[in-house]
């Protein structure tokens, strides 16, 4: 697998594919910008997944890609960043890796839909395996091809912090109205 030439200088960094709120123009991009300003991340470019992957919306309008559903979904549009170890730790913290909210897993991406010869290996934040397939079912097995401004407007930050995000996921999967 070839790597675009501008990635060679970033060999000591992890390549992270962002598809949701970490992208430019979305709420959590402030973290990405902070990482860039502290030289803990570099924007590599706009990329798309090499294979179709389900992208769904969960509670509070949070986007998730789902692992292990071959042939389902779409090729997802997103952004690729080269991130240092300390930057990766901050991203993992935001994405709730330690509590089982997301899992950082391997993914293959390309610069555009017509360039399948220039595949880049990266990682992305997937819905945790404990609820990923249930999210897919809850969304009627319907996938988005991109987390856009339309979905971004649905993102709500709950004022009530008495429940964890995983409790909200459980309520969402159960169809409870306050899990939104």
- Domains annotated on the chain, with CATH: 5-179 (3.10.490.10)
CA 34 vs CA 13, 88, 93, 100, 116: distances in Å: 16, 12, 14, 24, 32
pLDDT of residue 148: 87
Spatial CA neighbour of 135 closest among 79, 75, 60: 60
pLDDT of residue 119: 92
Query: Could you list the active site residues?
Result: 95
pLDDT of residue 117: 73
pLDDT of residue 154: 75
CA 142 vs CA 21, 36, 56, 57: distances in Å: 20, 34, 7, 10
Q: Which residues, at least 6 apart from 50, have a Cβ–Cβ distance to it below 8 Å? A: 75, 107, 108, 109, 110, 116, 119
- Please return the burial class of 16, using the count of CB atoms within 10 Å of its CB with bins 0-12, 13-18 and 19+: buried
66-81, pLDDT tens digit by residue?
998 877 999 999 999 9
- Which of the four pLDDT bands, split at 50, 70 and 90, describes residue 141? very high
Helix (H, G, I), strand (E, B) or coil at 4: coil
| Mean pLDDT score across all residues of the chain | 87
146-160, pLDDT tens digit by residue?
998 888 777 776 655
């Amino acid at each position: 697998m070839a790597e675009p030439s501008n990635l060679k200088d970033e060999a000591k960094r992890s390549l992270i594919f962002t598809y949701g709120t970490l992208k430019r123009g979305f709420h959590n991009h402030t973290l990405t910008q902070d990482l860039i300003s502290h030289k803990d991340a570099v924007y590599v470019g706009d990329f798309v997944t090499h294979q179709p992957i389900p992208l769904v919306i969960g509670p509070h309008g949070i986007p998730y890609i789902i692992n292990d559903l071959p042939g389902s979904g779409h090729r997802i549009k997103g952004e690729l960043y080269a991130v240092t170890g300390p930057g990766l730790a901050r991203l993992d913290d935001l994405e709730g890796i330690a509590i089982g909210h997301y899992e950082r897993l391997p993914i293959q991406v390309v610069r555009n839909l017509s360039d399948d010869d220039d595949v880049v290996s990266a990682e992305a934040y997937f819905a945790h395996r404990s609820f990923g397939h249930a999210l897919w079912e809850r969304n009627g097995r319907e996938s988005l091809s991109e987390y856009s401004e339309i979905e971004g407007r649905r993102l709500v930050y709950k004022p009530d912090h008495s429940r964890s995000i995983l409790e909200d996921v459980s309520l969402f999967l159960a169809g409870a109205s306050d899990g939104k």
